[in-house]
Structure 1
Amino acid sequence: MDVRILVTDHLHKVFHELAKRCGIRVDERLGATRDELLRLVPGYDVLVVRSRTRVDGEIIAAGRKGRLRLIVRAGVGLDNIDLEAAKRYEVEVVNTPTASTQSVAELVLGLMIAAARSIAWLNYRARNGVWLKERGLELYGKTLLVVGFGRIGRRVAAMAKALGMRVKAYDVIDIERSARSLGVEPVYDLCEALRSADVVSVHVPLTKQTYHLFSDKLFECMKPRTIFINTSRGAVVDAEALLRALEEGKVYAAGLDVLEHEPPATPAEKKLLEHPRVIVTPHIGASTEEAQYRVAILSLAAITRRLGICCPEAEEAIKPVCDQLEEMGLNC
C-alpha cells in the first residue's frame, strides 16, 4: 500500500526508523507555514503534528480534496485542530493521550516541591552570593485540589497521596467512582473546594468554557498562601489575575509550564516570569526521552492500524510500550 505521511513538528527518530521498516514514506517539513501546508497536505494520506502546527478548516478541506484521511496529534491536546471541520470532511483525528502522562505528572510534583521550597529563587540568590535560609512549606499533610480528573489528574493524585497529601478532585463530569477508587474525595463546588485547598493543580483542556477559568473570581475563592500549578493550557489562567493574587497573598507561589502566549508577550506574563515566587518552564511537560519515544510508537501504531497496514515491526515495538502504560494504570 502506498501511504504517504507528512510530519510538520519534531518527532522521536524511532518514528522515522519504524515507518521506513514498514515501507511507509515519511516527508518531514518542520516549521511548515500555513501556506505551505495548504499546498502540501493534499499529497499525503496522513498529517502528523504536535502543538505548534495549527490545522484549521481550510487546511483540512484542502487535504480532503487530495489524499488526506487521517490527522495524528502526537501528544494530548487537540485545541490546535479544527475538530468540527475534520468531522465535516470525514478526516479522522487521533492523539496519544497516555504517552506523556507520567512525564507531566512528574513535572507537576517537581513544580509543587520547587514552589513550596522556593528552590528556583533561592538557587538564583545563592549563585549571586546571597546565602539566605528562607523557610518553605512541607507538602505532607497538605490538601491538594486536582482540577480536571482525567489521566494526568488521576496520576498526579496517586503520586501526591504517596507524599502523604490529602487529595480532592473536581471535574465537570461525574468522577465519583474514579475518585473514590483512588482514595480521592470528589468535590462538586469549585469555589468552595478552593477555600480548603493548600495546593491547586490544573488539568483541564482549553475550551470556550475553560478560557480564563482562573480569573479574579476563582482566585478570590482561594485561602491565603495557596500553591498554584498549571501544566494544562496557558489560556486557562488569566495572567493578570494570577499576578494580583500573588501580590495580595492569595497565592503563595506558582508553578507554570504553560502561558497563554509562548514565549511570554503581555506585560503581566513578563512580570510573572520575573516574580520571585513563580517558576516558569517552557512547556516541557511531555519533553522527556521516554514520553517522546512512547508518543512516536503510539502515533505510528495509530497510523498502521487505522489504515490497515500490516507491519510486524510496529506491532512488536508497541507491545512493551503498552505493557509499561498498563503498569502505570493507563490504557494503551
Structure 2
Amino acid sequence: MKCICISEFMDADAVQALKPGFDLRYEPGWVDRREALLDAVGEAHALVVRNRTQVDAALLARAPALRVVGRLGVGLDNIDVEACRARGIRVIPAAGANARSVAEYVVTTAAMLWRGAYLSSAAVAQGEWPRPRLSEGREAAGKTLGLIGFGDIGRLTATLAQAFGMRVVAHDPMLAADDAVWARTGVTPLSLDVLLAESDAVSLHVPLVPATRHLIDARRLAAMRPGAVLINSARGGVVDEAALAQALREGHLAGAALDVFEREPLPAGSVLAGVPNLVLTPHIGGVTREANTRVSMYIAEHVRQALEALS
C-alpha cells in the first residue's frame, strides 16, 4: 500500500478523501519538527506540503520512494523542482484554486490603504475624534492599479479592480505587447518603470526567483508615484523590506501591506516593527475557508490520480 505524508494543515474532508487505498499519515506539526518529518518520508510515495515545508536535497535524500509532491498553494520556492524533476518526482501545485482569495485581498487592501480610515478604532474608543485627518482618504474609482505579473491571479485581480472603477495596467515580460489577453481583459501593458510612475497602487504577482529577488528595491520605491501604496501577497524577498520601511518613514509612500516576508514567521524586532502606515498579515492572502477547501480537494484529487497512475 502506497504511503502519503501530509506535513502541514489540510482541509479535513480532503484528508478523508485520501484515506481509502493508501497508508495516510497526517501530521501538520511535522513542518516544525524537521527530524521527525525526515524520518517519516522514508516510506512516503507522496508528500503534501504548504509553503513552509522545505522539500530540499536533504529531504529528497531521505525519501527514496517519493514520486509525488502536492503543494497546497501555487508558489514553488520551497520545493527543489529541478531535483524533483531529475528524480522523476511529479510536483503538483493547486493552480488557480486560491486565486479568488488573493485577488480579493489585493483589491480590498488597496481600497483600505487609500481610504486610511480603518486603523483608528483604538483612538476613537478613547474619545479622540480624528475626523479632519481621516477625511483626506481617497476613493478607489479612477485610481490606477499596477500589477507586476499578469498570470491567473493578476487577471482575476484586474477584473475585481475594474468593478471598483479602477484603471488597471500590468507588466509581465512573459507576455508580448500584442498578446490577446490585453484586449480581452482591458488591461494596458507597460514597462516596469512606466508602471511604477503611473500607478496609485502596485501589487506584486511574481514568483521568487533570482531575477525577482529585491525587484522592488530603494530605487524602484523612489520611482513610485508619491502617495502611492504597495501590496505584496506574492513572495517574501521580492520587496527589499529595509528599503520599504525607509520609504514609509519618509512619507514617500502613503502605505503598504505585506502578507509575505523574507523570513517567516517574521521575527520579533524586525526592520518592519513600528513602521507607520504598514499593514502586516501572516501569509494568509490566499487562505480563506473557501480557498482552503478548493486547494485541499484539488491536491487530494490530483495526488490520488498521480499515485493510481503509478500502479
- Map of 1:12-27 to 2, 5 A cutoff? 12-20=11-19, 22-27=20-25
Deviation at 1:191, TM superposition (A): 1.3
Deviations 1:214-244 (A, max 9, x none): 1111111111100111111121111111112
Which residue number in structure 2 is paired with residue 205 of structure 1?
Answer: 207
Percent of residue pairs bearing the same amino acid type: 36
Asked if the contact 1:68–1:91 (Cα under 8 Å) also holds between the matched residues in 2, the reply is yes
Deviation at 1:14, TM superposition (A): 0.8
Which residue number in structure 1 is paired with residue 223 of structure 2?
Answer: 221
Which residue number in structure 2 is paired with residue 78 of structure 1?
Answer: 76
Q: Normalising by structure 2, what TM-score?
A: 0.92
1:269 aligns with 2:290: no
Counterparts of 2:223 and 2:297 in 1: how far apart (Å)?
Answer: 43
Secondary structure in 2 matching 1:268: coil
Which runs of 5 or more structure 2 residues have no equivalent in the other structure? none
Asked if the contact 1:169–1:185 (Cα under 8 Å) also holds between the matched residues in 2, the reply is yes
Which residue number in structure 2 is paired with residue 101 of structure 1?
Answer: 99
- The AA in structure 1 aligned to 2:272 is E
Which residue number in structure 1 is paired with residue 152 of structure 2?
Answer: 151
Please, which of 194, 197, 215 is the counterpart of residue 195 of structure 1? 197
Which runs of 5 or more structure 1 residues have no equivalent in the other structure? 311-332
Secondary structure in 2 matching 1:9: coil
Deviation at 1:309, TM superposition (A): 6.3
Which residue number in structure 2 is paired with residue 185 of structure 1?
Answer: 188
Deviation at 1:281, TM superposition (A): 1.4
Counterparts of 2:227 and 2:25 in 1: how far apart (Å)?
Answer: 50
Deviations 1:89-133 (A, max 9, x none): 221111102111101111111211211112332223223332211
Asked if the contact 1:257–1:280 (Cα under 8 Å) also holds between the matched residues in 2, the reply is yes
- The AA in structure 2 aligned to 1:219 is L
Asked if the contact 1:19–1:25 (Cα under 8 Å) also holds between the matched residues in 2, the reply is no
- The AA in structure 1 aligned to 2:235 is R
Counterparts of 2:62 and 2:240 in 1: how far apart (Å)?
Answer: 35
Deviation at 1:35, TM superposition (A): 2.0
Counterparts of 1:123 and 1:263 in 2: how far apart (Å)?
Answer: 26
Counterparts of 1:69 and 1:231 in 2: how far apart (Å)?
Answer: 30
Matched positions, count:
302
Counterparts of 1:127 and 1:258 in 2: how far apart (Å)?
Answer: 31
- The AA in structure 2 aligned to 1:220 is A
- The AA in structure 1 aligned to 2:252 is K
Deviation at 1:262, TM superposition (A): 2.7
Deviation at 1:206, TM superposition (A): 0.7
Which residue number in structure 1 is paired with residue 302 of structure 2?
Answer: 302
Deviations 1:297-327 (A, max 9, x none): 10111112212369xxxxxxxxxxxxxxxxx
- The AA in structure 2 aligned to 1:230 is N
Deviations 1:276-296 (A, max 9, x none): x11111111122111011111
Counterparts of 2:13 and 2:152 in 1: how far apart (Å)?
Answer: 25
Counterparts of 2:208 and 2:255 in 1: how far apart (Å)?
Answer: 23
Please, which of 116, 119, 127 is the counterpart of residue 129 of structure 1? 127
Secondary structure in 1 matching 2:28: coil
Q: What is the alpha-carbon root mean square deviation over aligned residues? A: 1.7
- The AA in structure 1 aligned to 2:40 is L
- The AA in structure 2 aligned to 1:6 is C
User: Stretches of 4+ moved more than 4 A in 1?
Assistant: none
| Higher helix fraction (1 or 2) | 1
